[in-house]
Structure 1
Amino acid sequence: MEAEGGGRAAAGCLYLVDTLVGDPEVLQADAETYYEKLLKKPSSTPDVFSIPGREEVKLEDSSVCFVPLYRNNPTCKLLLLTDPKDKETVLAVYLNQRWWPVEDVVKTADPSRDGLISVQTFRERIVLFVLNYVIFGMLEGSSANDAFFLPHSATECAKILWRNSEAVAFYSVKMKGSLCDGTTSQCYLLPVLDTIFVRRKYRRGGLGMKMLHDFCQSFVAEDALGISCPISAVMYQVCQKFLQTYPEEQKRLWEVEAPGDWSQRVNIWLKIQMESSPSGKAEAGSRMEKAQTSKPRQSDVDQTNKGVECIPGVGKVAGDSTEKEDDTAAAAGTRSSQGPEQEDFEQGAGHAQQSKGFRKRAGPGGLVGDKATKQCRIIP
């Protein structure tokens, strides 16, 4: 029997983000009930799921798994279907009593859903999760790297960029005054651009610049804005082009470590100038020292951001893909050898201190391995 939801959106061409309603707890309970029934179904007569252009996939225990929707909240989970031949490839998400192909989850039939839109509803959180954890983390990351973004928190401040009826990019922000992590009482001292990602087919189109400009315009009253460190080479190219285009922002943008006091900031424009001239390194170094206080770095905070983080119940699916595909979706430090024009975060995205991490590939059974969480990066 073919599972409902095949490879198309629901009747009327409505997609998940257009139709999903209901209490998240009820939706999860429904998924758990479905999963229990799936376990009891005779293996001789399994249901199948089909996507145009692919072979039918049997809906079996070995191909489905629950993964945490939010970081630090293992109780809220999504049921995913993975490719039996490649456990790192997620095919669909189960919600509202049907399977939704990954590509349908990030589509919309609502023409008003266009441009950068704040993530506010549960269904938008689902889209953010799929963009970040599934598409960036598994499908469009780079196998040459192991970095990836951890799922965002349930209250993460983020915006999704919609274009041509698709969710094509996102960025997230650590708000001034928000907690740096769950283990200390320290709070961010300035707004910090934490993660950023542009889908592969939409890169090199100026979307990285667009999101960086939107970030700055969202906090016009702030004297200083941060970008999580370390910033990738490609992201620095984006920043350079942005700061040349908007010189008024040169004094406001800083590469920061949480929580972002003056001893944990480096002016991005100054660093760009320093690295652009052979003799400028020493000179810029002394200028940078004057710009910062003499406070010692809070190494304990840095260590916290680089701790080990495991996500139970998840395996390769999210495992090592955040920096896949040309490093297009990795952390702040994109490793692409492309020029400044590739401002769209060739790496997928982000450099967030708590949103990114490293993990080792798990075996075919697990969806997410454990890696040393590297939480500070951006991916153009």
Structure 2
Amino acid sequence: MEAEGGGRAAAGCLYLVDTLEGDPEVLQVDAETYYKKLLKKSPSNPDVFSIPGGEEVKLDDSCVCFVPLYRNNPTCKLLLLTDPKDKKTVLAVYLNQRWWPVEDVVKTADPSRDGLILVQTFGERIVLFVLNYIIFGMLEGSSANDAFFLPHFATECAKIVWRNGEAVAFYSVKRKGSLCDGTTSQCYLLPVLDTIFVRTKYRRGGLGMKMLHDFCQSFMDEDALGISCPISAVMYQVCQKFLQTYPEEQKRLWEVEAPGDWSQRVNIWLKIQMESSSAGKTEAGFQINKPKQSDVDQMNQGVEYIPGVGKVSGDATEKNDTAAARTLNSQAPEQEDLEERAGGTHQCKGLRKRTSPGGSVEDKATKQFRILP
């Protein structure tokens, strides 16, 4: 018997994000009921899932598992189908009484869903999960097959880029006032760009610059905005191009460690000037003036100062709200994209390791670096 949905396009050209309605708890109960029935199926007459291309996968307990949808709510789970030949490859998601191929989950038939759209509905949360956890964390993870990224929090602020009926990129933000982690009461003192990703086939199209600009425009009332530390060398190149294009943002963008008080911030534009001046030129090939010694001295003394701008004031007592920073990575500036797990330098915060999507997991508090071929 072929499982409903079995790898075929959604009926009537409607996709999951267009049709998903109802109580998420009811949908989970439905998935749990289906799972119990699946376990009772006779091995001689199993359900099968048709992979696009013709191959069929037998559905049994060895390749079906539940994973948490949200980082802070382990009781809310999704039922996933993994490839029997590679348990780290997810083939489909079970929702609304059918299996949805991963590529169908990130598609839409709604023409109004175009451009950067704030994640609000439950269906959009599912799309964000698939982009982050499955596509970004597993399917387009290159050699990083032993690692994946944690799901987002249930209320985490994120935007998805929709193009040609498909979710092609996203970025997430730790809001000012959000909790830095689950073990302390510290909160972020400024909005922080935490995760940004562009799908492989949509890179080199300026989406990274577009999302970085949208992030800055979304917090126009803030004097300071953060990018999660550490920032890779290639990410700094992207920031350099962005800040040269939008010089009004030079005094607002900071590389920050949580929670982001003034002792945990470095102005990105000043750091670019300092580091590139030591080589006499940037990797992009043009001259950067060396900052004055007075600028460096004031920075070393803990006074935030930008040449040509002056001192930047800030309130170190501001309160904030969300959870642990995860990662940031990027493509080279000529590609005009910010990408994680895409090649070049790969930086991970909040990274966990496991043997399979259904295996045991363990949070890692330390930052890790991985160089991808």
- TM-score bracket relative to the smaller structure: 0.7 to 0.9
| Cα distance change on mapping 1:126 and 1:20 into 2, 3 Å | same
**Which residue of structure 2 aligns with residue 33 of structure 1?**
33
**Which residue of structure 1 aligns with residue 249 of structure 2?**
249
**Which residue of structure 1 aligns with residue 112 of structure 2?**
112
**With structure 1 as the length reference, what TM-score do the two structures score?**
0.82
How many residue pairs end up in the alignment? Answer: 336
**Which residue of structure 2 aligns with residue 372 of structure 1?**
364
Offset of 1:157 from its aligned partner?
0.6
| Cα distance change on mapping 1:160 and 1:105 into 2, 3 Å | same
Asked whether the 8 Å contact 1:28–1:77 carries over to 2, the reply is: yes
CA distance in 2, matches of 1:100, 1:173: 28
1:220 and 2:220 aligned: yes
CA distance in 2, matches of 1:141, 1:251: 34
Q: How far does the alpha carbon of each residue in 1:250-276 deviate from its partner, in whole angstroms, 9 at most, with x for none?
A: 000000011110001000011111110
Bigger shift: residues 186-195 or 272-281: 272-281
Q: How does 1:122-271 map to 2 (within 5 A)?
A: 122-144=122-144, 148-271=148-271
Asked whether the 8 Å contact 1:235–1:343 carries over to 2, the reply is: no
Bigger shift: residues 175-184 or 201-210: 175-184
Offset of 1:54 from its aligned partner?
4.6
**Which residue of structure 1 aligns with residue 317 of structure 2?**
none
Offset of 1:246 from its aligned partner?
0.1
Asked whether the 8 Å contact 1:169–1:199 carries over to 2, the reply is: yes
Bigger shift: residues 180-189 or 61-70: 180-189
1:59 and 2:59 aligned: yes
CA distance in 2, matches of 1:160, 1:346: 14
**Which residue of structure 1 aligns with residue 95 of structure 2?**
95
Residue type at the aligned position of 1:331: T
**2:338 pairs with one of 324, 340, 345:** 345
Provide the secondary structure at the position in 2 that maps to 1:269.
Answer: helix
| Cα distance change on mapping 1:22 and 1:77 into 2, 3 Å | same
**2:350 pairs with one of 346, 349, 357:** 357
Asked whether the 8 Å contact 1:267–1:288 carries over to 2, the reply is: no
**Which residue of structure 2 aligns with residue 310 of structure 1?**
none
Give % identity: 81
Provide the secondary structure at the position in 1 that maps to 2:77.
Answer: strand
**Which residue of structure 1 aligns with residue 49 of structure 2?**
49
Residue type at the aligned position of 1:332: L
Asked whether the 8 Å contact 2:6–2:51 carries over to 1, the reply is: yes
CA distance in 2, matches of 1:190, 1:74: 28
Residue type at the aligned position of 2:327: A
Offset of 1:361 from its aligned partner?
4.4
CA RMSD between the two structures: 2.5
**Which residue of structure 2 aligns with residue 70 of structure 1?**
70
1:288 and 2:299 aligned: yes
| Cα distance change on mapping 1:29 and 1:144 into 2, 3 Å | closer
Q: How far does the alpha carbon of each residue in 1:76-129 deviate from its partner, in whole angstroms, 9 at most, with x for none?
A: 000000000000100000000000000000000000000000001111000000
Offset of 1:33 from its aligned partner?
0.3
CA distance in 2, matches of 1:257, 1:169: 25
CA distance in 2, matches of 1:235, 1:219: 21
Offset of 1:235 from its aligned partner?
1.7
Q: How far does the alpha carbon of each residue in 1:325-370 deviate from its partner, in whole angstroms, 9 at most, with x for none?
A: xxxxx93245x6xx42123124348xxxxx94333341x5844643
| Cα distance change on mapping 1:253 and 1:367 into 2, 3 Å | same
CA distance in 1, matches of 2:350, 2:54: 31
**Which residue of structure 1 aligns with residue 6 of structure 2?**
6
Asked whether the 8 Å contact 2:179–2:324 carries over to 1, the reply is: no
| Cα distance change on mapping 1:146 and 1:233 into 2, 3 Å | farther
Offset of 1:233 from its aligned partner?
2.1
Q: How far does the alpha carbon of each residue in 1:176-217 deviate from its partner, in whole angstroms, 9 at most, with x for none?
A: 112112211111111111111110111111100000000000
CA distance in 2, matches of 1:123, 1:53: 27
Asked whether the 8 Å contact 1:16–1:104 carries over to 2, the reply is: yes
Asked whether the 8 Å contact 2:329–2:339 carries over to 1, the reply is: no
| Cα distance change on mapping 1:33 and 1:146 into 2, 3 Å | closer
Gaps of 5+ in 1: 294-303, 307-329, 350-354
CA distance in 1, matches of 2:7, 2:75: 29
| Cα distance change on mapping 1:24 and 1:81 into 2, 3 Å | same
Bigger shift: residues 114-123 or 144-153: 144-153
Asked whether the 8 Å contact 2:191–2:226 carries over to 1, the reply is: yes
CA distance in 1, matches of 2:333, 2:200: 17
CA distance in 2, matches of 1:85, 1:71: 27
**Which residue of structure 2 aligns with residue 317 of structure 1?**
none
CA distance in 1, matches of 2:357, 2:116: 37
| Cα distance change on mapping 1:146 and 1:88 into 2, 3 Å | closer
Gaps of 5+ in 2: 280-289, 305-322, 343-347
Larger radius of gyration: 2
